[in-house]
Amino acid sequence: MSISFLTDNPTKLLKDFKKKIDDGEVVTWSYDKDGDFTHAPDQWKNKAWLKPTEEADRLRFNIIGSNKYELTWTIYSVYHGRFMEAMIRHCRALYTVARSPSKPTDNDAKPVSD
């Protein structure tokens, strides 16, 4: 379980974040046709993706590596930290707790050393 946001309504949280991207309120993240998120600044774009999964009590995001770039600890930490920052800034009323482990779990891509 990579990043998770405890919430009573994971569908609403996901839709709200996507709407804020669509409306231009969140400019540092984008999502693709599969619904996976990438960090939008040129330095980080498409170096990894965060794949959402709705569960009964949470919205979970697992990191997916790129075929073009090695997933480093730097990329892993930037994606996790900045995504949590964006959710706190823009969607804090829709969840109660955010969690991010220091290391990848079973469904995450594994970073290589920097």
Which is nearest to 61 in space by CA: 94, 36, 85? Answer: 36
Percent of the chain with pLDDT over 70: 98
What is the structure's pLDDT at 65? Answer: 93
What is the structure's pLDDT at 69? Answer: 93
- Give the C-alpha distances (Å, rounded to integers) separating 12 from 8, 54, 58: 9, 10, 11
Q: With a cut of 70, say whether residue 114 has pLDDT above it.
A: no
What is the structure's pLDDT at 106? Answer: 81
CB atoms closer than 10 angstroms to residue 40: 16
What is the structure's pLDDT at 62? Answer: 96
Q: With a cut of 60, say whether residue 95 has pLDDT above it.
A: yes
Tell me the per-residue pLDDT of 19-66, one tens digit each, with 9 for 90 and over.
Answer: 999 999 999 999 999 999 999 999 999 999 999 999 999 999 999 999
Alpha-carbon dihedral angle through residues 104, 108, 109, 110, given to the nearest 10 degrees: 20
